[in-house]
């Protein structure tokens, strides 16, 4: 089937960025040297740019690919193969124009065009092969799925990430993959991996799942793949396909797995993209390709014309942009060289900090604590984590030995002499931190940066009465340090550009996404989280049943409920931050009598687990709840929580805590897992009308993270 007058005509919507065309380069390869008397029509996808810009698939790209498929079909070649430029096969559809679409027919045309072009790879009479030489994501992998056979380079990664972004594999993947490898494996690839922060498959995993037919090393990948093609053509190699439609139990199990994955990710919230993906996978058992592709077209169009996709794209693009560029950062040339780092403290947080600095900066790291036992425990933790990296083959034994040789500890703070950067992670008590910094000033050089990992205390007050307050900065990580991508860098009015530039340079080495914030109570994430959680606990204190208050935000699909988060943070930490903000910002941060009771009685969680691992209410916590007489409904609790978030965010922008609403969105996405499908906290409040109702104005212009208006 070729494109003709009845095929969809796709033009980019007004205002959308120009498509970077990935060209299809066609050449013939003589197969006689590989044992087959004939030729191969080899199409190479190449956008003509360096490896920082992978091949992508837009309308012009698909139309050119269709033309090359036609030329290859009409040629004398015995088979057709598609490969990519070095290290890149194709990174999927070009999504840059999707957020500009305002016409449903136009959205539908994009899905149909992809199907019309790619399905030809299976329907033409010549055998077709995908030679996956590098990264193959989304539509890139779907090119391979439409081919009759697939090879892959051992260094390649592949995935169908669409559900992660609020879409479905809409160019054949949701229909073909379950039929090719079975529904349970397809659910793993399409849903479980995507919902698990877009986990990609290594080449060996793709081979084990049956997605590809052969794996070759990159040095001679193309040569071995061409030999594979010749062997298939001359009958020396055959690939058996299994009919997965007959095993009804596997399809039932697949649906249960899909439902469990959605519940784990979104709780009770109903999110469209994974739901539609599950329906498409289930339908693949009985659907013909025509029926399956038609269902994909409708599902893709429905999702493209809905706000959650726009929100996901806004959030995804925001993360990518801010990962590369830190707003407000001084010139990088001002950064000082860091050749030795000190970490004050040897507890879990301090040890995590020492480990990530050690692994990424690969410079000597020194730690101290109050006694040798604590120091030894911290060093032991770091070395055990290094050993685990070797066991997982993420580093070599030789690298592990070098890293272990760079970490030392002591109870004597003179060990910090010669450090260029010292970060403290001691108990959250202002007077202790002030005393520490005064002591350190007598040990380190005037240029050595003094950083604090405080989550709520004033960095400015820590630097009071120091000889060099200009070298003090907030360097706030989130727990667990190795996993959480956000780093809040807090400048005081005295912090100089050299200190800030050095902090940013270190953050980049640590592979963190950074936001520079004004020194203010709890910075961004903890200030908003404390206000938000405070409304939930206030409602409980007033007499709202805990199960009512804690379920108020279920419809948003947050990673955990407020009381679950309390168990992760700990009532002691939560109460300390609330008390700090109450003192700094006033009565809107109330001190919960229930939280005070939890702390005084040593209750650490509201929920616990029974013998079967099922979550249940902790009886000790339930008995300590302050019993008010003014209960609220679920709707009332949700409204007050959202109103509080809007009010606090507006205050933070007015105070200059950050410069733009997008920085608040980024902090909440990366610092506390605010879901991508909501697009960050402020676009959600805009769409729900909360922003204007509470503050009198939207945070973002109309159309940001929502349908164009």
Show which residues are catalytic: 142, 162
b/e for 538-556, b at 16 or more Cβ within 10 A? bbbbbebebebbbbbbeeb
Angle at 423 between CA 419 and CA 427, to 5 degrees: 140
Q: How far apart are CA 709 and CA 696, in angstroms?
A: 19
- Count other C-beta atoms under 10 Å from residue 425's C-beta: 25
Strands 365-368 and 201-202: unpaired
- In order, the DSSP letters of 314-345 are HHHHHHHHHHH--TTPPPGGGPPP---EEEE-
In 3-state terms, what secondary structure has residue 620?
helix
CA-based max dimension of the chain: 88
Q: How far apart are CA 247 and CA 348, in angstroms?
A: 49
Q: How far apart are CA 126 and CA 149, in angstroms?
A: 12
**Cis omega before residue 480 (within 30°)?**
yes
Strands 88-90 and 135-137: parallel
**Cis omega before residue 405 (within 30°)?**
no
b/e for 69-87, b at 16 or more Cβ within 10 A? beebbeeebbbbbbbbbee
Q: How far apart are CA 58 and CA 93, in angstroms?
A: 6
Q: How far apart are CA 582 and CA 587, in angstroms?
A: 6
- Look up residue 73 and give its two tokens: 């079909």
Exposed/middle/buried for residue 635 (C-beta within 10 Å: 0-12, 13-18, 19+) = exposed
Number of residues that this document lists for the chain: 709
């Amino acid at each position: 089937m070729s494109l003709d007058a009845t095929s969809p005509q796709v033009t980019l919507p007004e205002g959308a960025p120009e498509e970077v065309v990935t060209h299809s380069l066609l050449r013939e390869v003589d197969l006689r040297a590989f044992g087959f008397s004939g030729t191969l029509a080899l199409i190479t996808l190449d956008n003509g740019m360096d490896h920082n810009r992978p091949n992508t698939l837009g309308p012009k790209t698909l139309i050119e690919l269709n033309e090359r498929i036609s030329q290859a079909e009409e040629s004398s070649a015995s088979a057709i193969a598609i490969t990519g430029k070095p290290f890149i096969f194709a990174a999927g559809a070009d999504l840059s124009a999707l957020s500009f679409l305002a016409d449903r027919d136009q959205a539908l045309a994009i899905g149909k065009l992809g199907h019309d072009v790619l399905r030809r790879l299976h329907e033409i009479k010549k055998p077709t092969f995908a030679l996956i030489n590098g990264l193959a994501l989304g539509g890139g992998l779907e090119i391979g799925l439409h081919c009759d056979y697939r090879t892959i380079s051992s260094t390649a990664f592949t995935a169908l990430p669409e559900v992660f972004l609020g879409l479905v594999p809409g160019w054949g993947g949701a229909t073909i993959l379950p039929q090719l490898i079975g529904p349970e494996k397809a659910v793993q690839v399409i849903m479980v991996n995507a919902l698990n922060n877009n986990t990609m498959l290594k080449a060996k995993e793709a081979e084990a799942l049956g997605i590809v037919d052969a794996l070759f090393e990159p040095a001679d990948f193309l040569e071995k793949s061409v030999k594979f093609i010749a062997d298939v053509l001359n009958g020396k190699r055959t690939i058996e396909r299994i009919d997965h439609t007959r095993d009804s139990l596997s399809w039932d199990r697949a649906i249960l797995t899909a439902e469990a994955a959605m519940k784990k990710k979104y709780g009770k919230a109903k999110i469209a993209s994974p739901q539609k993906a599950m329906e498409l996978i289930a339908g693949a058992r009985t659907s013909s390709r025509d029926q399956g592709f038609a269902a994909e077209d409708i599902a893709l169009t429905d999702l493209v014309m809905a706000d959650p996709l726009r929100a996901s794209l806004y959030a995804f693009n925001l993360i990518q942009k801010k990962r590369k560029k830190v707003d407000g950062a001084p010139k990088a040339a001002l950064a000082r060289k860091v050749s030795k780092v000190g970490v004050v403290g040897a507890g879990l947080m301090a040890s995590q900090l020492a480990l990530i600095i050690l692994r990424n900066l690969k410079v000597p790291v020194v730690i101290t604590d109050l006694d040798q036992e604590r120091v030894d425990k911290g060093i032991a933790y770091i070395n055990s984590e290094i050993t685990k990296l070797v066991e997982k083959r993420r580093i070599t034994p030789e690298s592990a030995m070098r890293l272990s040789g760079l970490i030392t500890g002591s109870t004597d703070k003179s060990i910090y002499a010669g450090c260029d950067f010292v970060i403290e992670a001691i108990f959250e008590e202002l007077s202790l931190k002030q005393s520490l910094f005064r002591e350190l000033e007598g040990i380190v050089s005037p240029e050595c940066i003094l950083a604090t990992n405080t989550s709520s205390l004033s960095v400015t007050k820590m630097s009071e009465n120091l000889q060099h307050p200009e070298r003090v900065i907030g360097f706030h990580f989130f727990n667990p340090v190795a996993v959480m991508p956000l780093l809040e860098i807090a400048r005081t009015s005295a912090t100089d550009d050299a200190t800030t530039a050095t902090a940013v340079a270190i953050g980049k080495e640590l592979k963190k996404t950074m936001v520079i914030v004004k020194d203010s109570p709890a910075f961004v994430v903890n200030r908003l989280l404390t206000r938000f959680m405070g409304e939930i606990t206030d409602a409980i204190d007033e007499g709202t049943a805990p199960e009512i208050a804690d379920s108020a935000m279920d419809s948003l699909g947050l990673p955990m409920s407020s009381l679950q988060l309390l168990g992760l943070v700990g009532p002691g930490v939560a109460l300390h931050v609330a008390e700090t903000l109450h003192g700094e910002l006033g009565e809107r941060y109330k001190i919960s009598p229930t939280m005070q009771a939890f702390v005084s009685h040593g209750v650490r969680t509201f929920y616990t687990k029974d013998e079967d691992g099922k979550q249940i209410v902790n009886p000790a916590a339930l008995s300590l709840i302050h019993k008010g007489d003014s209960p609220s409904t679920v709707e009332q609790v949700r409204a007050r929580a959202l109103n509080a978030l809007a009010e606090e965010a507006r205050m933070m922008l007015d105070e200059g805590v950050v410069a733009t609403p997008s920085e608040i969105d980024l902090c909440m996405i990366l610092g506390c897992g605010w879901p991508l499908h909501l697009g960050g906290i402020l676009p959600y409040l805009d769409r729900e009308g909360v922003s204007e109702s509470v503050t009198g104005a939207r945070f973002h212009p109309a159309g940001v993270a929502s349908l164009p208006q």
